[in-house]
Amino acid sequence: MQKIGKLFIMAILLTGIMNTAIVGKDKVLTGYNEKIQFDNLTPEYIETTTQKTMDDLDKKLSNIYSVPVEMRNYDNTVLAYDKAVDGLNTVWGTFYLMANSHPDDATRNAADKAIVTFAKYGNKISLDEDLYKSFKEYSKTVEAKLLIGYQEKFLRETVRDFERNGFALSKEKRDGLKEIQDRLAIISNEFSKNISEYKDFLIVTEEEIKGLDDDYKNARRENDGTYKIDLSYPSYRPFMRLSESNDARKRLQHKYLNRAADKNLVILEKLALNRKELAEHLNYNSYAEYIQETRMARNPETVWEFEQNLINKVREKGKLDYEEVLAIKKSHTGDDTAEEVYNWEYSYYSNILKKENYQVDNEEVKKYFELGNVVDGLFKITQALFGVEYKKVENPSVWQSDVTMYEVIDNGKIIGRFYLDLYPRDNKFGHAACFGIQNGMKTDEGYQIPTVALECNFPQPIDDVPALMSHSQVNTFFHEFGHVLHNMLTQTNLSSFSGTSVSRDFVEAPSQIFENWTWDYESLTMFAKHYETGEVLPKELFNKMVAAKNVGSGIATLNQIFYGLIDMTIHDKYNANEARTTTDIVKELQSSITFTPFTEGTNLQASFGHLNGYAASYYGYLWAKVYAQDMFSVFEEEGILNPEVGKRYREFILAQGANEEPMELVKKFLGRDPNAEAFYRSLGL
């Protein structure tokens, strides 16, 4: 997941580099290509820098407005705008990361407040008539009409997005649009904050935790001999898979599926209502229609057709998956009359299925994936593929003591920096995502170094107990590092087109492709070693993992479709003023798409964070995977560790960012038109 949060200025995600006019030395952002000094971050710094940053951009935009019509050119209008907004977005990116990861409440809250302020300011810029006139004036010049490549694309898309933001409307209606956008900035930020700050847990007995190993139990044991199970991934997922207590799993899942429901059910309705109002204000039938106009899909009809075609293709496999798990439930409960597998049972019986029918013990598999070894393996593979080196920075300035920092070296030059923040803690972003801080771009001083942070929630080593990852977590790590690479290896001239600033329904493809390296034995032998003996993952165990890989692939894909259609329904076929609630929508869709029955009293949509950053775009996960698997087929054919293929992939996909349309980049890499054959093969169809 590439975390979305950058200012939506004319619907283009702009991220940026540091601006020395905004901040000085001995502060947090210290200057051109210098390391960020997170140690100096304070609530007061955030507050003062927020205002200074906006004041600075106001001055730079004023310079663009004042250029006489006859003197307008690409450099003093288009390029000047890209550079100006870039500086603001680096400050924003830093504060957005801090709002999602800083351990200090006051600092985190100050950063959270700054995000809302920047979002409102971005709304003002998106409705700035003087700025629109500047671009429109330039677009009519002879020079503008002769632009080609990324320059023509950026000018065209910027004018288009201004007009999508209301410049076909009257001044009065534009003012009304700004009011809607300002409300959305506050509401959407509140939705995300409620999820990240939500806390709950389940206290279980020794009997109820039976099935979990000693390491898991020791990390959660209370003084009275009970166990405290929180709702973070490292706690929740193993418990749902391994606890022999059906009742405890049911109670834990009920809590998990009601995260933030006390606040976010109402806020989600407000989000949907305001997004619908925004779309209709701009003469679109729905928010989905408004959003998807600029995506690869182009319109909701294409997305609905895509999702329905997938349902038709995988439903039979999903039914077989479900019946396989149901059979395991019957055999283990002795209840031959059982007709359903409930949500809180599925992971448990699916795990037993893999153990008994495919001889895959996930707890045994974990012993071969010690986190340090996984990091080393990921680094070796990607460094070899793309001809770069990662150098660990000693004693870096970071926001949390266990965060590490690396520089990406190419031919002796630093071309990027990334942070790894791998372990869970209170008030931290609860999933795994790549947070952009600053983008790469060409400047008069040289090429600006992109910087990102990878926020994860993997098991943490405790005393002498190593951090052992499930294969699923390894898969997630490789996926998210794909986003890191997309940002690190960018070579775009414009900040606005840097790295992951691609179409939202393509952005996951360069990350999803890297999941495949966790399923290749040659790749795994580089790092999958038993944490006690050093033994490489046995080929026999790997073969069992592969055999079990597509167990449940139909169900998993149907679940992704289910989530995608929750998003699509809320943003294309729902009015918050109607009698039907968002919970009704979830219930209807779960009943028609998946095989596990809806659990009454749960509200999963309240903690479905993608309804914010990926609003009307969640379909993009499966959409992008079609392209990811097609591109991976080239590595399969020519060598999964082949540096020549890696070089081509880096050149045609990673380096280009949004310089060209995604479809054209994919065609160049493939040397042909893309198709879905590799995607369906990956599901075992």
Query: Active-site residues: which are they?
Result: 480
Quick one: which of 527, 530, 532 has its CA closest to 517?
527
C-alpha to C-alpha distance for 193 and 188, rounded to whole angstroms: 9
Cα(425)–Cα(102) distance, integer angstroms: 10
Half-sphere exposure of residue 158: CA atoms within 13 angstroms, side-chain side = 29
Question: Which 3 state secondary structure label does DSSP give 494?
Answer: coil
Q: Which tokens hold the place of 472?
A: 């699923």
Q: What is the CA radius of gyration of the chain?
A: 25
Look up residue 265 and give its two tokens: 């059910």
229-1-425 Cα angle (round to 5) = 30
> Nearest to residue 582, comparing CAs of 591, 569, 564, 563?
569
In our burial notation (b when 16+ CB lie closer than 10 A, e otherwise), range 518-527 reads bbbeebbebb
Q: How far apart are CA 225 and CA 231, in angstroms?
A: 20
Residue 244 near residue 351, CB atoms below 8 Å: no
Give the Cα separation of 250 and 247 in Å (integer).
Answer: 5
Beta pairing, strands 433-438 & 2-3? parallel
Q: Which of 182, 44, 212, 71 minimizes the C-alpha distance to 119?
A: 182
Calpha distance 101→196 (Å, rounded) = 9
* Virtual torsion, Cα 565, 570, 571, 575, nearest 10 deg: 150
For residue 217, what are its two tokens? Answer: 């139990």
Tokens of 401: 């003591």
Residue 373 contacts residue 528 (beta carbons within 8 Å): yes
Q: Give the C-alpha separation, 666 to 649, whole Å.
A: 9
